[in-house]
């Protein structure tokens, strides 16, 4: 398990849904686990709670909680 990470949204990812962004960066993370992380407020976009349908904008910061090693 790694610690909390903060990742910047790139120009290529501008307009991408948060759930697709996670699938791109963390392919082994099950969708159900992502939904639980979102429901409990562990995933944040620019410091605010987010939903899987949140559209990302270039330059935003996504807070990624510690994830289990897979």
Residue 22 sits in a domain whose CATH number is 3.10.290.10
- How much is the pLDDT for 43? 97
Kindly tell me the burial class for residue 52, based on how many C-beta atoms sit within 10 Å of its own C-beta (0-12, 13-18, 19 or more): middle
Q: Does residue 37 sit in helix, strand or coil?
A: helix
Query: Is 70 a member of any domain?
Result: no
Q: How confident is the model at residue 67 (pLDDT cuts 50, 70, 90)?
A: confident
- Kindly state whether residue 60 falls inside one of the protein's structural domains: yes
**For residue 7, which phi and psi values (nearest 5 degrees)?**
-120, 140
Using DSSP's 3-state secondary structure scheme, residue 29 falls into coil
Q: How many structural domains comprise the chain?
A: 1
Predicted confidence at residue 68, as pLDDT, reads 73
Query: Could you tell me if residue 53 is inside a domain?
Result: yes
pLDDT higher at 20 or 1:
20
Residue ranges making up the domain that contains 48:
5-64
pLDDT category at 2 given cuts 50, 70, 90 is low
Domain assignment of residue 31, yes or no: yes
CB under 8 Å to 49, separation ≥6 — which residues?
38, 41, 43
């Amino acid at each position: 398990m790694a610690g909390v990470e903060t990742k910047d949204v790139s120009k290529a990812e501008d307009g991408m849904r948060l759930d697709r962004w996670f699938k791109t960066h963390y392919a082994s993370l099950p969708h159900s686990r992502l939904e639980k992380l979102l429901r409990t407020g562990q995933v944040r976009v620019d410091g605010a709670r987010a939903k899987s349908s949140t559209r990302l904008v270039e330059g935003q910061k996504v807070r990624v909680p510690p994830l289990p090693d897979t």
